[in-house]
Amino acid sequence: MAIQPIRLFGDPVLRTPAVPVADFDKELQRLVADLTDTMLHAPGAGLAAPQIGVGLRVFTWHVEGETGHLVNPTLDLSDEVQDGPEGCLSLPDLTFDCKRALSVVAKGFNMYGDPVAVEGSEMLARAIQHETDHLDGVLFIDRLDREARKAAMKAIREADWFGAPPTVRVSPHPTNGLGL
């Protein structure tokens, strides 16, 4: 469909909780296609709707050759934990070790409104948790320990992209006043 600009750290849409999708229509299908195209073009392991300025609970992922999407997700996390490198398309070129659940069962809907469940571990579990955090206005740097978060904020302030005015565009998707 269309590659969209990715919102960067500092854009308020990244800190605003997204609202549940109510209409499973052509616009939602176009949003999923735009998210998928943008994620694959970046390239990234996942992309949430707020990262392209749309305040809806939708994300895509591309892990180990598998591409998918989830609408209105809920997560059941394992007690086992993994600790490993994590990055974000909204914080370009920054990677920090982040603790996440080792496995996840994510339930929600596909773009047509059919219920789906996705089970994943390691990288897929990390991507699903990361993107669901975006839907809640949480960035992975919020999950770092104090020392790592301090280093992350220093790296962000020193990044070439930091401080640039956010790209603001009107979404081609109906958002009922939520998101831009």
pLDDT in tens, 13-35: 999 999 999 999 999 999 999 99
What does the pLDDT read at residue 162?
87
With a threshold of 0.75, does the pTM exceed it?
yes
What does the pLDDT read at residue 166?
52
pLDDT in tens, 64-84: 999 999 999 999 999 999 999
Domains and CATH numbers, the chain: 12-158 (3.90.45.10)
Which amino acid is located at 171 in the chain?
S
Distance from C-alpha of 59 to C-alpha of 171, rounded to nearest angstrom: 16
Catalytic residue (choose from 27, 86, 131, 158): 131
Is the pLDDT confidence value at 167 over 70? no
pLDDT in tens, 49-63: 999 999 999 999 999
Q: What is the DSSP string of 102-128?
A: SEEEEEEE-TTS-EEEEEEETHHHHHH
Is the pLDDT confidence value at 172 over 80? no
What does the pLDDT read at residue 151?
94
Mean pLDDT of 151-158: 93
Asked about 131 being catalytic, the answer comes back as yes
